[in-house]
Amino acid sequence: MSSILVIGTVAFDSVKTPFGEAPEVLGGSATFFAMAARLFTSVRLVAIVGKDFPSQHLKMFEKNGIDLQGLVRSDGLTFRWKGEYEENMNVRRTLETHLNVLQDFQAEVPESYKNTPYIFLANINPELQLKVLDQLNHPKLVCCDTMNLWIINQRKDLEEVLKRVDFFIISEEEAQMITQDHNIVRGAREILKLGHFSLLIKRGGYGAILFTQQEQVFAIPAYPLENVVDPTGAGDTFAGGFLGYLASRDRLDLETVQRAMVFGNITASFAVEGFSVDKLTDLTRDKVRDRLGDFLRMTHLAPVSANVE
């Protein structure tokens, strides 16, 4: 079982969905990732919060075995994001973004973190992702995420990051934005040229699909959910389950990667059933196990012969 270091945002989210509203709740890419990955292994957090960040959240992280040595507590205000979802929960609108303390974030990696074998560069400015990479001692595996803002405004930094990662984990919309191609297979081929990584594309309520440099493809449907309350953080939670499982197994063969996709999928299915990290705080391995069993029953095809006679 190997540790994971995550750099990303810890934030206050204000979210409105057709099913309700949650003002100023705990959010951020590193938050969702850490709360998922901690189910599988120990997690080290590199992030920044402001003086307004309540100690109850810090205690919650610590209670869940998340190492906060790399969490800077600054004088300013914590990063804030406000957004809303349409009836079709796949469509999201950002209403406000207040960077606040994020603007001064130096992304310094504590000495005790520098040998961490598994790294997740959660969605944050790619300059900061690069800065973290420069401070590490030969990690075993590096994964990264990004968002539309960096794809458009900081493409060069993003491409520098991509030369140095093993997995690039993005949403289908982000993949389409990078390539300007709606076809996911053609798009994936283009994106794979940007480095030596495997590409893992998240398709929201439709599952996920993996493309490797060796032209392997692996697709899974999503766990069918009846109550999607708030999709915020689903992608980060997917990454947390994915990398958490890989680190816990400490293996990187294709079969383990495929299983890790399923664990990411299942972990994310819990996150979207509540606002903020509500459904992740009391999530246990037992609950993940139960839903995994359901998922396997819902997707496992009994052996089928290609002989159609």
Measured distance between the N- and C-terminal CA atoms of the chain, rounded to whole angstroms: 48
| 127 phi/psi in degrees, rounded to 5 | -60, -40
Site for a copy of itself in 76-95 (CB under 8 A): 87-89
| Cβ contact 244:265 at 8 Å | no
| Cβ contact 246:187 at 8 Å | no
Site for a copy of itself in 12-31 (CB under 8 A): none
Site for a copy of itself in 163-192 (CB under 8 A): 182-186, 189
Residue 221 interacts with a copy of itself (CB under 8 A): yes or no: yes
15 bridge partner residues: 22, 83
DSSP string, 239-296: HHHHHHHHHHHT--SHHHHHHHHHHHHHHHHHHTTSSTTHHHHT--HHHHHHHHHHHH
* Distance of closest approach, residue 45 Cβ to a copy of itself, in angstroms: 22
Q: How far apart (Å, rounded) are the C-alpha atoms in residues 259 and 58?
A: 31
Give the interface size with a copy of itself as a residue count (CB under 8 A): 51
* Distance of closest approach, residue 40 Cβ to a copy of itself, in angstroms: 6
Residue 255 interacts with a copy of itself (CB under 8 A): yes or no: yes
Q: How far apart (Å, rounded) are the C-alpha atoms in residues 43 and 39?
A: 10
Q: Which is nearer to a copy of itself, 101 or 169 (CB)?
A: 169
Interface with a copy of itself by CB under 8 A: which range of 62-70, 122-130, 146-154, 223-231? 223-231
Residue 39 interacts with a copy of itself (CB under 8 A): yes or no: yes
Site for a copy of itself in 125-164 (CB under 8 A): none
Interface with a copy of itself by CB under 8 A: which range of 92-100, 153-161, 190-198, 295-303? 295-303
| Cβ contact 100:79 at 8 Å | yes
* Distance of closest approach, residue 205 Cβ to a copy of itself, in angstroms: 8
Q: Which is nearer to a copy of itself, 119 or 184 (CB)?
A: 184
Interface with a copy of itself by CB under 8 A: which range of 106-114, 158-166, 215-223, 275-283? 215-223
Q: How far apart (Å, rounded) are the C-alpha atoms in residues 219 and 1?
A: 26
Among 23, 224, 251, 281, binds a copy of itself (CB under 8 A): 224
Q: How is residue 308 written in tokens?
A: 């159609």
| Cβ contact 270:222 at 8 Å | no
Among 205, 250, 252, 273, binds a copy of itself (CB under 8 A): 205
Q: How is residue 158 written in tokens?
A: 């993003």
Among 207, 250, 274, 278, binds a copy of itself (CB under 8 A): 207
Count Cβ neighbours within 10 Å for each residue of 257-269 and write b for 16 or more, e otherwise: bebbbbbbbbbbb
Residue 228 interacts with a copy of itself (CB under 8 A): yes or no: yes
Q: How is residue 164 written in tokens?
A: 């140095």
Q: Which is nearer to a copy of itself, 79 or 245 (CB)?
A: 245
Among 45, 209, 268, 271, binds a copy of itself (CB under 8 A): 209
Residue 237: which H helix or E strand, with range? helix 234-249
| 4 phi/psi in degrees, rounded to 5 | -125, 140
CB-based contacts of 246: which residues, under 8 Å, 6+ apart?
118, 141, 252, 256, 257, 260
Q: Which residues bind a copy of itself (CB under 8 A)?
A: 39-40, 87-89, 182-186, 189, 203, 205-207, 209, 217-222, 224-228, 245, 248, 255, 258-259, 262-263, 285, 288-290, 292-293, 296, 298-302, 304, 306-309
